[in-house]
C-alpha cells in the first residue's frame, strides 16, 4: 500500500507540473489478506493541489463488516507509516 501511495503522489506531482491540462485515470488500489481487504480510491482530476487530496478508504472483514470513510491523503500516509514502523 505504501508503494501504491508513493506512485499516486508521483503521478499527482506530474499532474501539477504539467503545462497542459489532461484527464488522469482514477487511482484505485486494493489489498487483501486473510479475509481483510482495504481499498483506496481517488479521482485525481477532482483536486487542484496535493494538499487538498482526499481518498476514499473501504475496509472489509469477510462478508459481515464494511467501513467506508473519506480521509485526507496526509492522514492516510501518516497512518500507514505509523503501522509500518
Grid coordinates of 75: 492522514
**What local confidence, expressed as pLDDT, does residue 41 receive?**
97
Interatomic CA distance for residues 37 and 15, integer angstroms? 29
pLDDT category of residue 5 using cuts at 50, 70 and 90: very high
Interatomic CA distance for residues 5 and 34, integer angstroms? 22
- Structural domain spans, the chain: 2-84
The pTM of the full predicted model, rounded to 2 decimals, is 0.86
**What local confidence, expressed as pLDDT, does residue 53 receive?**
94
- Whole-number Cα distances in Å, 37 to 10, 18, 57: 24, 34, 10
pLDDT in tens, 30-46: 999 999 999 999 999 99
Amino acid at each position: 500500500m505504501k508503494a501504491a501511495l508513493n506512485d499516486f503522489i508521483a503521478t499527482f506531482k506530474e499532474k501539477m507540473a504539467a503545462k497542459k491540462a489532461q484527464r488522469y485515470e482514477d487511482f484505485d488500489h486494493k489489498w487483501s489478506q486473510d479475509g481483510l481487504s482495504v481499498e483506496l480510491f481517488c479521482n485525481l482530476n477532482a483536486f487542484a493541489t496535493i494538499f487538498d487530496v482526499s481518498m476514499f478508504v473501504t475496509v472489509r472483514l469477510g462478508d459481515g463488516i464494511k467501513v467506508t470513510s473519506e480521509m485526507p491523503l496526509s492522514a492516510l500516509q501518516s497512518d500507514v507509516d505509523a503501522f509500518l514502523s
